[in-house]
């Protein structure tokens, strides 16, 4: 609104029914919603919105009372220039140029599938240098001015600190990306360090954390999580790097099955060229298998473990939270599987073996005519 006249200038409709219409329209044209959001992902976000709306919060406006309106915990703000509106939405934190009526950027887009951001506070970076003042102060020092002009302008290290619904953490967004910098250098070890140090546990552990880390006194012996695995198949060895810090439940399950011999003599029951190789089912038809705890266990989606490259090792499932014993190895990038299947490893050696398995002849159910099986699995 314009403050003096009270006239409405721009209106933004972020109600879920707006997104409902977009989803229905794009489903009809078989195009995914913003950033690859499919119907299942959208359904999860919509359920989270309903849960947030039904959440009881403390109302301190006129008198202390409780009311079901969790949406009032959303925080909308302008940047210091007053040009951009920072608005938390179902697809991330939108940065809207309100005068041009355009969304310039969506912050946290990659995390919005699992986190509902509530807004936050901005901390601006280094102040911009007044060039006229700088010239006045350095009069006669041409060499200094010229050298400074040639230097590449550094990106402001301003940050946005946000909270998320039902989470006891805060999230920091910045222009600086140590993971991307490590990628540019081609240093895989430095990249892994950056990924591991990205998340800092800043809240007391809950019961799940206590059970996971075996520090609740019921079991003093720590679960042995392997860092590497060698899949010894009838066609050769496949070496896999595991991610125990990022996906501890999936790794504990995989290592437990491997050490117990659960995977021994299990066949690759589904092989699809230019897609993936699937195994881990003791029944050999894709319908069997369970976790080391019996039944199924939850997904572990990690922002930096994506299906963005071939030879990614991921858990097979029949929907959210239905992981058992089956897993697959991709042979091409498969980004449509992100936030649907838990990535817990990467093939480091034996890519040629994966390619050889990929190219075998299969029947109409994608099962190889000549059985290919796992002889054993070594955990290192």
From the list 74, 210, 212, 337, the catalytic residue is 337
359 has catalytic annotation: no
Under 8 Å between Cβ of 170 and 162: yes
Q: How far is CA 208 from CA 170, 191, 205, 251, 298, in A?
A: 20, 28, 8, 16, 12
1 is catalytic: no
For strands 77-78 and 327-330, give the pairing: unpaired
Tokens (6 digits) for 3: 């403050």
Question: Whose CA is closest to 306, among 341, 351, 255, 350?
Answer: 341
List the structure tokens of 246: 């990022």
Q: Active-site residue 337, yes or no?
A: yes
| Residue in the structure block whose two tokens are 């109409």 | 364
- Which residue, chain included where needed, has tokens 């319908």? 287
Residue of 191, 253, 278, 326 marked catalytic: 278
Among the listed residues 192, 212, 241, 275, the single catalytic one is 275
Helices (H) and strands (E) in the chain, counts: 9, 17
* From 243, 297, 311, 328, the catalytic residue: 328
The SS3 of residue 103 is strand
Catalytic residue among 303, 306, 341, 346: 341
Catalytic residue among 249, 257, 270, 346: 270
Q: Where are the alpha helices (DSSP H) in 283-380?
A: 351-358
- Judge contact between 54 and 68, C-beta under 8 A: yes
Is 317 among the catalytic positions?
A: yes
Q: Please name which of 35, 40, 36, 34 lies closest in space to residue 19, comparing C-alpha atoms.
A: 34
Residues annotated catalytic, as ranges? 270, 275, 278, 317, 328, 337, 341
């Amino acid at each position: 609104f314009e403050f003096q006249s009270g006239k409405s200038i721009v209106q933004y409709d972020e109600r879920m029914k707006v997104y409902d219409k977009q989803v229905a329209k794009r489903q009809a044209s078989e195009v995914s919603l913003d950033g690859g959001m499919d119907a299942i992902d959208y359904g999860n976000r919509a359920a989270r919105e309903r849960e947030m709306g039904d959440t009881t919060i403390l109302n301190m406006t006129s008198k202390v009372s409780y009311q079901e309106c969790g949406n009032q915990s959303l925080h909308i703000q302008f940047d210091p220039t007053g040009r951009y509106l920072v608005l938390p939405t179902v697809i991330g934190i939108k940065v809207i140029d309100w005068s041009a009526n355009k969304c310039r950027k969506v912050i946290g887009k990659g995390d919005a599938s699992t986190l509902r951001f509530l807004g936050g506070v901005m901390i601006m970076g280094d102040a911009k240098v007044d060039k006229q003042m700088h010239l006045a102060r350095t009069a006669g020092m041409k060499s200094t001015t010229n050298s400074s002009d040639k230097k590449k302008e550094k990106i402001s290290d301003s940050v946005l600190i946000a909270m998320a619904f039902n989470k006891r953490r805060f999230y920091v967004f910045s222009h600086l990306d140590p993971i991307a910098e490590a990628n540019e250098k081609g240093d895989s070890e430095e990249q892994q360090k950056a990924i591991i140090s990205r998340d800092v546990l800043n809240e007391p552990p809950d019961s799940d954390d206590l059970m996971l880390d075996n520090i609740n006194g019921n079991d003093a012996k720590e679960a042995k999580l392997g860092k590497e695995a060698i899949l010894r198949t009838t066609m050769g060895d496949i070496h896999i790097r595991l991610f125990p810090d990022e996906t501890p439940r999936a790794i504990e399950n995989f290592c437990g099955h491997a050490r117990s011999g659960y995977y021994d003599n299990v066949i690759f029951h589904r092989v699809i060229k230019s897609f993936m190789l699937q195994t881990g089912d003791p029944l050999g038809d894709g319908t069997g298998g369970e976790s080391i705890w019996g039944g199924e266990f939850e997904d572990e989606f990690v922002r930096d473990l994506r299906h963005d490259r071939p030879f990614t090792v991921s858990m097979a499932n029949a929907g959210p939270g239905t992981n058992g014993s089956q897993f697959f190895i991709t042979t091409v990038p498969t980004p449509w599987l992100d936030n649907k299947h838990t990535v817990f490893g990467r093939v480091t050696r034996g890519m040629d073996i994966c390619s050889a398995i990929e190219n075998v002849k299969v029947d109409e159910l994608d099962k190889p005519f000549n059985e290919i099986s796992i002889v054993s699995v070594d955990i290192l």
